[in-house]
């Protein structure tokens, strides 16, 4: 996709669809594998698939060897993006163990507010209409994720709250480094870091992983690893190469909508009127984000 505007919209939408569909497989794996073990194992097929893709692309479109500066940028980018991604996925998994999925979904997607806020703090300009569609998105996510009951803030909620900051940092780090290095190489590097750091976490926290558990979860690990991790995060990086990180993050947040839709289509879960309102608000936010700003 040579048109940056099309790439900025289409690729995040595909990513959101993949991430939304992966919630089923992730939940099925949770009862068999520990948090760090799951994230380390899911990142192995992701890194391998990306490495294979990188080799194929290099064969089709040969390029000169990386310069010393490009190698340093790739190393720094892989370490920084991988660190924040490791932090985000593991904090999220820890939090889900002690909070509801609805509250976890809402708190995680606070990154759609944090990304423009931190972008402005880093000196980037934002459209005046940014805050309007961000508010629409937050309202939509609220209706999607909260059932209108009482609100409490548990330790799990706090972990999820921290993971929103980690994902914000990862999105902004990707936005910075993808302008300097190849997007596929950067994605491959960050997942290599996730494997290493998550494996260390599994050892430190004494997670017990059996071969039987891995065999049981193998189809889920392959789907989440190749599609959600490998394809999804690579499409995110490619979308951010020429796109506005605020708009990209907003489109990525549609994973909540797709999660509801896939639950309805695959698990025969019915949408409540409240969830329907949330979907309408979320799609309204997407439409608003694509409208040109009037002078």
238-287 confidence digits (pLDDT tens) = 777 766 766 777 787 777 777 777 777 776 666 678 777 877 887 777 66
Q: Write the pLDDT tens digit of every residue in 161-198.
A: 899 899 989 988 988 888 888 888 898 899 999 999 99
Which residue, among 26, 58, 45, 73, has the nearest Cα to 194 in the 3D structure? 45
What separation in angstroms does the CA of 132 have from each of 5, 127, 248?
A: 20, 10, 16
Helices (H), the chain: 4-30, 35-60, 68-96, 101-108, 111-121, 130-145, 155-177, 183-204, 211-222, 233-240, 245-252, 255-266, 273-290
Q: Is the pLDDT of residue 212 over 80?
A: yes
Q: What is the pLDDT of residue 92?
A: 81
Q: Where are the alpha helices (DSSP H) in 110-210?
A: 111-121, 130-145, 155-177, 183-204
Residue 126: both structure tokens together: 């934002």
Q: Report the pLDDT value the prediction gives residue 166, as an integer from 0 to 100.
A: 94
- C-alpha to C-alpha distances, 172 to 112, 229, 260, 272, nearest whole angstrom: 12, 18, 27, 35
CA 79/CA 60 separation, integer angstroms:
28
Among the ranges given (12-26, 36-50, 81-95), the one the predictor scored with the smallest mean pLDDT: 12-26
Q: Over the chain, what is the mean pLDDT?
A: 80
| Helix axis angle, 68-96 to 155-177, nearest 10° | 160
Q: How far apart are CA 143 and CA 17, in angstroms?
A: 19
Select the more confidently predicted residue: 38 or 257. 38
Cβ-based neighbours of 12, under 8 Å, separated by 6 or more: 235, 236, 239, 243, 248, 251, 252, 254
Closest of 108, 85, 99, 138 to residue 20, by C-alpha: 108
Whether 151 has a pLDDT exceeding 60, the answer reads no
Residue 60 has pLDDT above 60, yes or no: yes
Res 26 pLDDT > 80: no
pTM score, whole prediction? 0.79
What percent of the chain is modeled with pLDDT above 70? 84
Q: Over the stretch 218-237, which tens digit does the pLDDT of each residue have?
A: 988 898 888 887 788 778 77
Q: Stretch 49-60: mean pLDDT, rounded?
A: 85
SS3 per residue for 67-79:
CHHHHHHHHHHHH
Q: Is the pLDDT of residue 8 over 80?
A: no
């Amino acid at each position: 996709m040579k048109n940056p505007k099309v790439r900025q919209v289409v690729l995040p939408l595909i990513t959101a669809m993949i991430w939304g569909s992966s919630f089923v497989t992730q939940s099925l794996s949770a009862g068999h594998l520990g948090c760090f073990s799951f994230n380390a194992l899911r990142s192995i097929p992701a890194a391998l698939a990306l490495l294979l893709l990188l080799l194929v692309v290099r064969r089709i479109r040969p390029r000169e060897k990386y310069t010393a500066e490009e190698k340093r940028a790739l190393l720094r980018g892989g370490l920084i993006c991988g660190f924040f991604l490791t932090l985000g996925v593991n904090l999220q998994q820890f939090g889900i163990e002690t909070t509801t999925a609805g509250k976890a979904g809402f708190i995680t997607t606070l990154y759609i507010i944090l990304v423009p806020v931190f972008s402005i703090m880093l000196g980037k300009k934002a459209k005046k209409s940014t805050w309007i569609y961000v508010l629409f998105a937050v309202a939509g996510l609220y209706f999607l994720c909260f059932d209108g009951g009482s609100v409490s803030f548990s330790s799990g909620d706090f972990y999820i709250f921290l993971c929103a900051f980690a994902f914000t940092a990862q999105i902004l780090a990707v936005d910075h480094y993808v302008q300097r290095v190849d997007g596929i190489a950067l994605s491959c590097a960050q997942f290599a870091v996730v494997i290493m750091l998550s494996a260390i976490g599994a050892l430190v926290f004494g997670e017990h992983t059996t071969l039987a558990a891995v065999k049981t979860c193998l189809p889920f690990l392959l789907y989440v690893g190749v599609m959600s991790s490998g394809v999804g995060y690579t499409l995110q990086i490619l979308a951010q190469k020429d796109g506005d990180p605020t708009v990209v993050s907003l489109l990525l947040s549609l994973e909540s909508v797709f999660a509801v839709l896939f639950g309805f289509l695959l698990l025969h879960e019915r949408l409540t009127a409240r969830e329907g309102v949330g979907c309408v608000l979320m799609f309204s936010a997407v439409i608003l984000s694509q409208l040109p700003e009037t002078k």
